[in-house]
A = this chain, B = another copy of it.
Amino acid sequence: MSVRELVVLGTASQVPTRHRNHNGYLLRWDGQGILFDPGEGTQRQMLRAGVAAHDIDRICVTHFHGDHSLGLAGVIQRINLDQVPHPVTAHYPASGQRFFERLRYATAYRETVRLTEAPVAGGGVLAETPSYTLEARRLDHPVESFGYRLTEPDGRRMLPGRLAAHGISGPDVGRIQREGALGGVALEEVSEVRRGQRFAFVMDTRLCDGAYELAEGCDMLVIESTFLDEDIALAGDHGHLTAGQAARVARAAGVRHLVLTHFSQRYGEPDEFARQARAAGFDGELSVARDLARVPVPRRAA
């Protein structure tokens, strides 16, 4: 399965609205599902978005404010109620271990699933799988917050002209890919690097090095833009980004598809977030997230 898409479960910061649930995102990455920042009500949003408890393999929590984590309790109970057959791993700031435990054991239920607690201390590589490496970087928020990044290992794209010039065809193409050379021809002579896809999830934070590092070269960046630019002072006070700031991170990092989300309830129509992102010079693909949207990760760059 090669589906790689973001399923938006909720997009509100701090308080939910009629049209926006608290935060929540499922990243489908081949056959895996990674749930980011489940706010309260994520369990019900999953139902509305066609996401099952079985779809979750990994949970990544940026920080322990309620809008990013209260939904953990319901999601964990639901994973157990549905007797998900595979283990699930949860990443979250190690400094919030007590919060994770309170949410994990918030009320009485029967544990049926192996849930591995994998607290994040300093950041760095958290997991390596055949289809991605998962890393975390520290962000800058009033409570400790980590952003996450998935990097697919680079592959190689075969070049038909070069293969033909060397007389390689049929089963030999697979052989040189597997073995790295064939009859004196190196794989590098008949192929080029196919860069792996990169995805980052950045919230909540002020502008900081971690945000830029996570975003660097990403095919998709999901980033908080709680405020509009006119409220930049408020954003700074509360440890958040504006639409323009988020877009400048994306532009500097060469992001291909920018997803703005985590909006303050104080704003009405979301178009202004897109306008300010464009005004800040971001000219790639741009989505202003809405609940229950599905956003495909861009195809690998040529």
A residues contacting B by CB (< 8 A) are: 14-18, 21-22, 40-41, 43-44, 47-48, 64-66, 69-71, 73-74, 77-78, 81, 96, 99, 102-103, 105-109, 143
Contact = CB atoms under 8 A, between A and B. Distances in A.
B71 A40 contact: yes
Most buried by B among A41, A43, A47: A41
Given A14-B81, A78-B15, A107 B66 contact: yes
A138 to B, nearest CB: 17
Given A40-B71, A73-B73, A65 B107 contact: yes
B106 A65 contact: no
A16 B99 CA distance: 24
Given A40-B71, A102-B106, 20 more contacts: A15-B81, A16-B44, A16-B47, A18-B48, A22-B44, A40-B73, A40-B74, A41-B41, A64-B107, A64-B108, A65-B107, A65-B108, A65-B109, A66-B73, A66-B109, A70-B106, A99-B107, A99-B108, A102-B105, A106-B106
Contacts of A106: 66, 69-70, 73, 99, 102-103, 106
A13 to B, nearest CB: 12
Contacts of A47: 16-18
Q: Which 3 A-B pairs have the closest CB atoms?
A: A102-B102, A41-B41, A16-B44
A230 B21 CA distance: 37
A100 to B, nearest CB: 10
Contacts of A18: 47-48
A239 to B, nearest CB: 12
A66 B74 contact: yes
Nearest to A104: B102
A70 B73 contact: yes
A15 B79 CA distance: 12
Contacts of A143: 108
